[in-house]
Structure 1
């Protein structure tokens, strides 16, 4: 998934939820703090949003974690279209 914010911070963003969570992290802690947290990762840990949130001590509210209804419906329509083609 292409994300300008992910490219700036070095955080791995693979889903729309990851994008929402990263935006929330940056809004709460700032872009510099997120970049610093990426640099603090120890060992083979990858810069997933969940790892960065853990380092920064941030928990995501349901409003950020849950997929908005319209987005969910759009994804279901896409899946149905793929399944009907087979």
Structure 2
């Protein structure tokens, strides 16, 4: 396994997602010894958590456009995902 020396917290979302996809491919190939598979799985979980945190943060920043009674934009409100 070629360990990516880049710290996960320093990665962009896209870099972390690509690294996670690489981990999944390596695990699916089944050619990695058990100890390395465990290390890959642990790194994959950290990458998944980092991606999810970035997605959650992005969702929290999204604002929904509020329309008035005439259907015209009248402002914004925080997106809460319940609509």
Higher RCO (CA < 8 A, seq sep 6+): 1
TM-score by length of 1: 0.29
Q: Which has the higher helix share?
A: 1
TM-score, normalising length from structure 2?
0.30
